[in-house]
Amino acid sequence: MPVGFEFTCPLPNGLHARPATALAEAAASWPASSTLTNLRTGMAADATSVLEIVAAGILNGDPCRLECRGEEEAQACAALRAFIEDILPNCDEPLPVVEDQAPHRIPRTLDTQGAVVVTGIPASPGLGLGRVVRLSGLALPREIENQPVADPDTELGHARSAFDAVAADLRVSAELPGSPAAEINKALLALVTDPGLFQAVTAAIRNQHSGAAHAVVTAITGFCRRLRESGSIYLKERIVDLEGIGVSLLRHLPGAVIPNQDLQLTGPSILLAPNLAAGQLLNLDRNLIQGLALEAAGTTSHVVILARSFGLPGIAGLAPSAGIAAEAEALIDGTCGLLVAPVTPGVRRYYERERRICDQLQARFAAANQAPAATRDGRRIEIAANIGSAAEVETALANGAEGVGLFRTEMLFSATDTEPSEDSQYADYRAAVAACAGRPVIIRTLDIGGDKPLPYLDLPAEANPFLGIRGIRIYERCYELFRRQLRAIVRASAAGNAWVMAPMVVNVAEARWFREEVTAVQAELAEAGIPFAPRLPVGIMVETPAAALMIDALSAQVDFFSVGTNDLTQYLLAVERGNPAVEHLYEALHPALLRTLSLVTERAKVHGKWVGICGELARNPLYAPLLIGLDFDELSMSAPAIPAVRAAVVHADHAACRALAQRALACADADQVWSELAYCPTAPPDLPLTAGELITVHADCRTKAEAIRELCALNYLAGRCRGIDDLEAAVWDREATYSTGLGYGIAIPHCKSEAVRTSSLAMLKLAAPVEWESLDDRPVDVVIMLTMPPADPGNRHLKVFAALSRRLMHEEFRDRLRAAEDADSILSVLAREFEPEESKGNNDA
């Protein structure tokens, strides 16, 4: 008789991948066989198989039973009961949020006349233009005939060989840890090595006398059906991964005939398909792919994740696209979720305009990357990248990184089933340090623990791993592993400017021990004649309240600090951000966190210590002025976030940021902090209302919408607003109340919005007049846009608007504006009109 127990699933998101993996690992550690049954549906699963557990469709509140049978069954049952009661509830994480298919915004500047527009969920931003290539997706052939076999063992051998071959291929392709492709191939490897899948194939061969190919199709189809019936969007999106595994297995089986699904692109292409497997995308020439339009895929599918990492425009959940013909030239807009065909002159014009704006932004970012990041008044702020492998350095530097602020070395350790050797670690660390060519590379030693286990380390299961053995606390338990890593890091320092830091330090003794270990390794290498850099800065992560409160004492032991705001926020607020029940309490702008950050930088500066920040807080450009004001030396983030944060830094004023920080520190809650951020212009107060970069003469705008879009782009390119779309929306909101066509061929669109950084006047002289619904029905050839932030001391917005309106009543002033042939001439006409009010008195002229 098996022994067992019943329980109710405590997980808000049910038994999906992460908690299922933890349970399977716990069950696999015992010799007894374990079966998990969903009593709601009657579906049973091998408790050592992640695939079977998730396919059982166990949801929050479902009654379940777990039974153990065989050797040490009683002990296994007791241990698994303790695991489910004490540990499993802490293994949950929020599943990716998939947006509802709300009505989609068709840009006002997109002329859709004569074209078919198909909408979907924006999944990966960007624009692409190319021929539509219709794909059927990766279909698992169902028509393989089941011919009874005389020798099941031979078929099992074929199946085993196919599984081993596919697993070997995936291991090879996962050699670059930290890259999106490697992470996805690691997930696929977990599927192909899952015991439940091979057991299902074995059962089909043994029980149904199936050939290996038919058994694979039967097993894969069965799991796909269970995932489809699970009710979980996330699990349904794994179906294409399973079918992809099935096709790969069939290719290694003798006699299995599958349709040739390989594709060779011949020119710029937009791929239109129900869904794609990640492997299909990886096998195509990405230089020719202009975008992905997927009908059945969601935003969490692996192919969409890859598209984002490759910078390919992508749409998920595409509406029926029968009106889009294969080989038609089409436009894909991943930002708005649109597929448009054919490319009419109006559609091409939209593409060319948006492409030009994107190119100008890239040029601006590239120009900004040439010089070290600093505020307008000269405060130097280093912008660095968070990476997981040396392969990511090139992209980081291309995006404007000035070094690596966090090298997460645990990515190297989790990429394989065995510990990476000292030499393989050294090769990766050295490659990163050398690629940065003298720029700092901060390498964090292994940060794992009960919540982030490694299969080859025997770490104890803990009821609360976040407060258990993790970070520096595991090093004495795994001392030789730690020493090998430290040797690899110190050796790599010879290639450039390496720094090293330890995670989860909470006291002086840990910091002192870590520095002593670095010194001991240096002495060991020196004695062996192995080169290393004589200067290797040693630092620690500040990610606990204890470390934050001990900066004075810790400063005697380390050279620098790096604040990890993700963990610091969780520990400070006693909130796990992955727990849906309390995630609303996780506030990145909580005043307690800001005061803690202020304390860290203030005390560190007293001791002359450098302080960086590498958590999620650093990657949001809206928060950059606050972090500058809190006196951080460095902001480190993922590579794609760097250009926007760098732009926020170079357009900020340090004095204004300091004032902002002081106000934020006095706030009572996060909402008040956000108000300070949103309502405070961070550009210097003496920035002129207008400038040459805000004026375009002979602008080729053929509609009102194009003119407004162009003016918003000028503001964004000049760093005067937070985003083109946000500013554009605010202007159109104002347009909806009344026409801004003043008459005399002049329009003055305007707004007061949180999207605005600083008050600005932008102007277009149009090459040809456009309809504006003006008061006098006259088309417009001069457009002047006024934009102001919500904090508008003295109602400057109204005063400027009133003064401009009065001056535009004068024919002489209008004539001078129209006669001006370039931006400088227009500036001279405007200069006298918008001097500071106090120097003008009551003179309206």
Catalytic site residues? 16, 302, 614, 750
Is there a contact between 193 and 20 (Cβ–Cβ < 8 Å)? no
Q: Which amino acid is at 538?
A: V
Beta strand pairing status for 3-8 and 63-69?
antiparallel
Quick one: 118 exposed, middle or buried, by C-beta within 10 A (0-12, 13-18, 19+)? buried
Is there a contact between 813 and 744 (Cβ–Cβ < 8 Å)? no
Dihedral sign from CA coordinates of 436, 442, 446, 449: negative
Instruction: Report the 10 Å Cβ neighbour count for 370.
Output: 7
CA distance 598 to 605: 11
Written as six digits, the tokens of 285 are: 């020439």
Of 489, 471, 484, 598, the closest CA to residue 543 belongs to 471
Give strand pairing partners of 270: 132, 291
Q: How far is CA 154 from the centre of its chain?
A: 47
Give strand pairing partners of 766: 699
Dihedral sign from CA coordinates of 21, 26, 29, 32: negative
Q: In three state form, how does the secondary structure of 363-432 look? A: HHHHHHHCCCCECCCCCECEEEEEECCHHHHHHHHHCCCCCEEEEECHHHHHCCCCCCCHHHHHHHHHHH
Is there a contact between 402 and 441 (Cβ–Cβ < 8 Å)? no
DSSP E strand boundaries for 237-390: 269-273, 289-294, 314-316, 329-333, 338-341, 382-387
Of 41, 35, 32, 33, the closest CA to residue 14 belongs to 41
Is there a contact between 205 and 156 (Cβ–Cβ < 8 Å)? yes
CA distance 471 to 478: 11
Quick one: 69 exposed, middle or buried, by C-beta within 10 A (0-12, 13-18, 19+)? middle
Of 256, 201, 206, the closest CA to residue 223 belongs to 201
Of 607, 506, 543, the closest CA to residue 406 belongs to 543
The helix (run of H) or strand (run of E) holding residue 35 is strand 33-38
Q: How far apart are the first and last CA of the chain?
A: 99
Of 317, 313, 315, 239, the closest CA to residue 278 belongs to 239
Is there a contact between 347 and 115 (Cβ–Cβ < 8 Å)? yes
3-state secondary structure of 199: helix
Dihedral sign from CA coordinates of 240, 246, 251, 256: negative
Written as six digits, the tokens of 744 are: 């005399």
Written as six digits, the tokens of 495 are: 């290639």
CA distance 505 to 753: 43
Peptide bond preceding 342: is omega within 30 degrees of 0, i.e. cis?
yes
Is there a contact between 592 and 573 (Cβ–Cβ < 8 Å)? yes
Dihedral sign from CA coordinates of 794, 797, 801, 804: positive
CA distance 240 to 224: 9
